[in-house]
Amino acid sequence: MKKIIAAIAFMVLATGLHAQVSELPDTQIKDVNSGKKMAFNETFTKGKVTVVSFWATWCVPCKKEIKNIMLKLPTWQKETDFNYMTVSIDESRAEGLVRSYAISQGWKFPYYIDPNSDLKRSLSFQNVPFTIVVDKNGKVVMEHSGYEEGGEEEIYAKVKELSKG
């Protein structure tokens, strides 16, 4: 019963959040590899579904979610053509930690940092892990807060659904 109530609460919350944000903001973020700043809405490939995981170096559930997605990514991307990227909400002084962590984990996908939490404010979320799914037209169609083991499957189900059309 608790799971049913939680699921209903999540759907209501997610629907409410979705109503607030659908266009991608042009808020500046920084590519941790190149050091270049760019508009968040310019990091997406038109015509391609994208999953974005927001995380922090101090967030254990964030790291677990990204690791689980990363393990499944090769299989998922063979089945469904989509992009994956992460955005750290760590402060700018932690940029080196973000880079070191990503390298140590073997991340082959793009990773950015939102050093002043401007993007976090633009998207109106409070805590990480926070994941969004962006459709082929650049619209946020799903938002998910928190992480439970296996939660990435729900996100991938949405990606598959969006990629068909």
Give me the tens of pLDDT residue by residue for the chain, a chain 165 residues long.
555 444 444 444 444 444 444 789 999 999 999 999 999 999 999 999 999 999 999 999 999 999 999 999 999 999 999 999 999 999 999 999 999 999 999 999 999 999 999 999 999 999 999 999 999 999 999 999 999 999 999 999 999 999 986
pLDDT the model gives residue 165: 62
Q: Which two tokens stand for residue 88?
A: 């750290």
| Domains assigned to the chain | 2-164 (3.40.30.10)
pLDDT the model gives residue 9: 43
Closest CA to 112 of 46, 56, 71: 56
Length of the chain in residues, anyone? 165
